[in-house]
Chain A
């Protein structure tokens, strides 16, 4: 039985595409046949983060319009078995995402894939609505920052009222929080919202906390999902989150400042 996941946030720039790439890769590494779809029509970037930008021939919109077969638009990842990317169009606009067209493509993918991960654009317009409409699970990507938390709350409202499950009175879309760009040192200094603060406000279960990490930029520079950087905190945090998503009981890590030696304390003070 195929599952549809939406990676959404309301606010832009919080890490939806980074998280989509990492999560899809993590699911594929666990042996699930996974496809990640870019819903950000006109502003595609998932292809760059996944490192397949030079291999895009046809896209999601071509398939919706019947201009190409689904199998021709799917790009197989060169590193991981079971992992596919469905890029979107860079030239058209969000109106190209028709509800019937998206549903037909998702149904066709559902025959073949265990997980379909929809990378939502920012906002609550057509692209974001289409990305979340058919979802079974929603992962809400949030930064510990006021505008991001407020926008996440807004998108939770949209999920509860305008998703297919809501409209048809089915069991609601499951919602989990992925708190990204978390900086335990700033939290300790009282400069950043704590995990518990965000959980208290949004009142949804915590899927994972991804620490602020230089590995994220390095990974996107070279077109590699950061989860493949196993030495990085962020990569390990995504691996944990994927495990939790699959129902495993994994303790949260990277939420406290790392203990530092005397030298780095002194250097920090002088900086």
Chain B
């Protein structure tokens, strides 16, 4: 048994959790009721901008949303093409550049993480 559990307050009753969950989800729904469903359009436009510069696979785009009571986070993860593919794609447009080291390095890092803050 951890010493911290001594100080920890009693678990919140489930009804309290129910009320909090409802307040959060319903605040978002009421706020969004008037406007159009913007997420699909937002995603398409963001991807169109990125696609102007990088050749991306539409299937490797992950959009995550976490709705909180104070602010919501919109997270967009786009897997970039592997360096080899990127180079060959670029070669079609430009002259090949100097060789880049570090073969087999996968570019799977999150490209963008934007925050969408909504206050209620």
Contacts and interface: CB of A to CB of B under 8 A. Distances in A.
| A and B held together in a complex | yes
Interface of A: 48, 53-58, 62, 67-69, 71-72, 89-91, 217-218, 220-223
B61 interface: yes
Interface string B25-45: 100010011000101100110
B9 interface: no
Nearest to B63: A57
Given A91-B33, A220-B18, A222-B14, 6 more contacts: A48-B22, A53-B21, A53-B67, A55-B65, A62-B39, A72-B62
A51 B15 CA distance: 14
B117 interface: no
A113 B104 CA distance: 32
A198 to B, nearest CB: 31
B43 A221 contact: no
Contacts of B17: 221-222
Contacts of B85: none
B25 A53 contact: yes
Contact of A69 (B24, B58, B65, B67): B58
A91 B17 CA distance: 25
B103 interface: no
Given A56-B65, A58-B40, A91-B37, A221 B25 contact: no
A89 B29 CA distance: 11
A73 to B, nearest CB: 10
B66 A55 contact: yes
12 contacts: A48-B22, A55-B64, A55-B67, A57-B39, A57-B64, A67-B40, A68-B43, A68-B63, A69-B61, A72-B61, A89-B37, A222-B18
A108 to B, nearest CB: 12
Contacts of A68: 40, 43, 63
Interface of B: 14-15, 17-18, 21-22, 24-25, 29, 32-33, 37, 39-40, 43-44, 58-59, 61-68
Contact of A48 (B21, B40, B43, B65): B21
Contacts of B66: 54-55
A183 to B, nearest CB: 22
B115 to A, nearest CB: 15
Nearest to A218: B14
A54 B64 CA distance: 10
A62 B18 contact: no
Contacts of A222: 14, 17-18, 21
Given A67-B40, A222-B18, A54 B67 contact: yes
Nearest to A223: B21
Query: What are the nearest 4 A-B pairs in CB distance?
Result: A67-B40, A221-B18, A221-B14, A54-B67
B24 to A, nearest CB: 7
Nearest to A53: B25
B61 to A, nearest CB: 7
A48 B61 CA distance: 26
Nearest to B44: A67
Contacts of A62: 37, 39-40
Contacts of A218: 14
Nearest to A65: B40
B84 to A, nearest CB: 24
A53 B63 CA distance: 15
A171 to B, nearest CB: 36
Contact of A54 (B15, B24, B39, B43): B24
Contacts of B21: 48, 53, 222-223
A54 B67 CA distance: 5
